[in-house]
Amino acid sequence: MGETASLRSAYPAVSPRAARKVLSELDEHMRRFIALSPFLCLGSASASGTDVTPRGDSAGFVHVVDSSTLLIPDWPGNNRLDSLTNVECNPEIGILFMIPGVNETLRVNGTATITFDAKVLETWHVNGKHPRSALAVTVRECFLHCGKALIRAHLWDPTAQVDRGALPSLGQMLKDQTRLDDTAEQIEQSLQEGYKTRLY
């Protein structure tokens, strides 16, 4: 308690607006935000540690079932299953929704379960394909977050974009990190092919 009090004393008091903006259910503004969002960051944790993973698709890919329930598809990735494994051990998750061009974000905290229900998975379909599973999220708290962080980062400013050449290719970086027999060019070719043919 003393440490928490010491931390709190180092910062200004929470404003009434910031304290009251936290809701226990998604309101119409939040539901609209999710409908326009093509990207989110998903935070999860287990006894072995924490993880944050990006999830994205066309705007509206996260389905709002009702004011307390979300469905997030698990489209193909690296098959490490970090988030899903965490959820099996610890259902607590945090989600940050983002909309390109909008500096404000939406934060949702709650619990998740993994569903393999065919009727649920069939609600997403791209070129005849469906996700292998989905996360069913029960909302505990949700609130809109101001745009200060994104404004400071100039995240949506085209003039602030970094030239891709400032970094080696992902193929080269993975070659250096994994030390596998494949060349950097072979790894990069596989990645680019996956972007074209294995997004879904």
What pLDDT digit, counting tens, does each position of 58-73 carry? 999 999 999 999 999 9
For residue 1, pLDDT over 60 is answered with no
Q: Binning pLDDT at 50, 70 and 90, where does residue 5 land?
A: confident
Cα–Cα dist 37/178, whole Å? 34
**Does residue 96 sit in the same domain as residue 42?**
yes
Cα–Cα dist 162/94, whole Å? 28
Domain of residue 184, residue span = 162-197
Q: Is residue 4 included in any domain, yes or no?
A: no
pLDDT at 65: 98
Q: In the chain, how many domains are there? A: 2
pLDDT at 4: 83
**Does residue 149 sit in the same domain as residue 172?**
no
**Residue 48 C-beta-side C-alpha neighbours within 13 Å:** 8
- C-alpha torsion angle, residues 158, 153, 146, 54 (rounded to 10): 80
